[in-house]
Structure formats: C-alpha cells, structure tokens
Amino acid sequence: MFDGPSVVAALEDCGVTHVVWLPDSDIGRWEPALRTASCLQLLRVCREGEAIALAAGLHLGGKRPIVLIQCTGLFEAGDSLRNIVHDLHLPLFLVIGVRSYHAHQRGASTDSCPIFTEPILRAWQLPYVLLDDRHRAADLAAAYRQAQAKNQAFAVLLPE
Amino acid sequence: MMTLREALEILAHHRGQRIVIATMSSASVWPSLSDTPLDFIYVPSAMGQGPSLAHGLALAQPERGVIVLNGDGCMLMNLGCLVTLAEHPANVYLLIIDNGLYEVTGGQPTPGAGRIDFAALARAVGIARVYSYDNASAWRAGAAEALTGPGPVVIWLKVEGRLGQSAPKAPRPMAEQIQRLRQAITEQIPEPPS
Ligand SMILES: [Mg+2]
C-alpha cells in the first residue's frame, strides 16, 4: 500500500532530489507530502513530455529526479521518452499510475488505459514492474535502487 | 529582420560561461560559432523539448545560466514550457528564433506565422524579463542587457527564413556530447550570471 508520507520517505532515502509530476486522482493524494518534503523538490509541469525532458536536464546537471505521471500522460510523452531513453541513454525513472486497472481486471471498466499501458511500455523497450496493493514504498525504493545501479531507464506501474 | 547567423553571432559575443543548447535550425549554425564542452547540440532531439531540457539543467546548476536556442515551430509544440518556467524560476535564457517557418522540413509556414506575439505570451504567463528584437542592430544594442542578470529571460528574435535547408546534424555523437558537458559542469567553476 502506498501513501504520500511513506513514498516521500522512501524516495528521500534513495537520494531522489526532484519529483517532476502531473497528478492523477490516486497519486494526487501524495501532494501534501511531496510539497512539504524536506529533501526533495516537487516540480509541477504542464504536460508529460515536458516532465521527461525536464528530468533529463536535471540528470545532465547531476541531480536524481523521478517522473511521476498517469498512463494517459505516458501515451502523450512518447517522443520525449524515445529521445531521452534511447538517444540520450539517460536512466530515467518513471512512476506511472494505471487508470482503471483494478476495474479492468474485474471486467467492470471500458476504459482503454489498462489495455494499452503495458504494450506501450514494451513497444518503447522500457523495462517495468507492476507494484500493486501488496507492495510498499520500500519496494518502490528497491526498484529505483536497482535501476540506478544498472544505469537503466525503468518504470514502476501503480494499478489504480 | 536579421539572418539566423547574424542573430547567433551576436549571442556568441555575450554568452559568457553559460551552457548553450541549440535545436533544429540553430543547431546547424551554432557549432561554427562555438564548439566548446558547454555547447550542447540537441540533435537528435525530442520535438519541442529543448527549453524543458534547459530548464532542468538550470535548476540542477543554479549558479550557471543555460541559454536555449529554440525555433517558433519548436515553441508551438511546447508552449506550456513557458508556464513551467514561470512556476519554477531558473537562470534560463530562452531565445525564440522566429522565422515563421518549419525550416528543416522545407519551409512550410508555422501556424499563426506573423501573428503570434511570443513576447506577450511569455509576459502573460508571468515571465517578467522579456525582450524582442526584429533587426540585427537592435539585438546587438540590447543583447548585453537582455543576457545580464537572473533568469528566466525570454528573447524573441525575428529572423529571415531560409529555404533548402536539411535536418541538422550533431558535430559529435550524443554520448560524447553528454560526457564532455558533464565533465565541464563538474570541473569548471561558473561565474554567477551577473
Ligand atoms: Mg521556424
């Protein structure tokens, strides 16, 4: 189970310096914790392609950003993702909320988001893991540390 | 009006120790004016994302200004970057090099060419330091002031469109550009933007 304070504590423990984000209704609840975090800065952007490029600039400048967005924004941000991960080879770390995932699993949603999120990530050749309600912020931190140790771009999917 | 080369020659006199990120048409001209480790030719790029890349760099390196050379077509792909720049102020000097064309695709007009007031757009989102120049002598006279002091700064330059241009090429592989930029950032002690 993820909540703002535990996620912020885990990210700060990993040395994450910036969270570049556009909220959705689930991860949006983390906003008070992100906004008041002592060791990381919350950067609000207008679109997800921008979030990825901004995080890339932070990386080039020696910081340790993550990108926190919803899958709808992932769909929009393909060109940025392609460029930053596959042309600049920066170890971008994304946390992506998957809208309607649980309802889709129950057959109770017509939202197309859960249908396309994982195939899109595979198409962009971005390795990922899905962390559900059985996982904790420590698992998110472990995924971050592992990806950074490999100098590898990586995504964590959070079912919503 | 001024030519792209004239506009960039004037910039070259005033860029100091700042990082320069060049995109699209500017990327084909800037390496002939400056090719130091602090010159980053953003090719291949993500369309319209030069200002956001520059913004991240400037936030990471607050003592060092970052100049980004962006075309009108690139601006239109990512107008939200102006809002983000106002939201998180940093020493970014965004040059909007406006020729009213998509130059590298053969010179087709950009939407709103000749009607868009990029300076008004920048002011409207809350960026206070905004400058406009539509000829070389005015830009030459104003460059020192525009490029002095803290960012964000938006500088709108009207330049002549060029036909028959091809897509820009980077002077060296991206991995090498990144390696030497990072080394320069780490090793060189910047002078704060004065
Ligand atoms: Mg143009």
CATH 3.40.50.970 fits B4-185, yes or no: yes
pLDDT digits (tens, 9 = 90+) for A98-133: 999 999 999 999 999 999 999 999 999 999 999 998
User: What are the structural domain ranges in chain A?
Assistant: 1-43+59-69+88-101+147-160
Question: Cβ contact (<8 Å) for B45 and A83?
Answer: yes
CA gap A40, A9 in Å, rounded? 10
B3 CA → ligand 1 middle, Å: 12
Question: What angle (nearest 5°) sits at the alpha carbon of residue A114, between those of residues A2 and A34?
Answer: 30
Q: Between chain A and chain B, how many beta carbons pairs sit less than 8 Å apart? A: 100
Dump the DSSP string for B50-64. Answer: HHHHHHHHHHH-TTS
Q: What is the pLDDT of residue B187?
A: 80
**Looking at the complex, does the CB of residue B17 fall below 8 Å from at least one CB of chain A?**
no
User: What does the CA dihedral B130, A42, B183, A56 come to, rounded to 10 degrees?
Assistant: -80
Residue B11: CA atoms inside 13 Å, Cβ hemisphere, count? 33
Helix (H) / strand (E) element for B109: namely strand B108-109
The whole model's pTM is what?
0.97
From B137's Cα to the closest Cα of chain A, the distance in A is 33
CA distance B118 to B38: 27
Q: Where do the structural domains in chain B lie, given as residue ranges?
A: 4-185
Tens place of pLDDT per residue across chain B (194 aa): 899 999 999 999 999 999 999 999 999 999 999 999 999 999 999 999 999 999 999 999 999 999 999 999 999 999 999 999 999 999 999 999 999 999 989 999 999 999 999 999 999 999 999 999 999 999 999 999 999 999 999 999 999 998 988 888 999 999 999 999 999 998 866 665 55
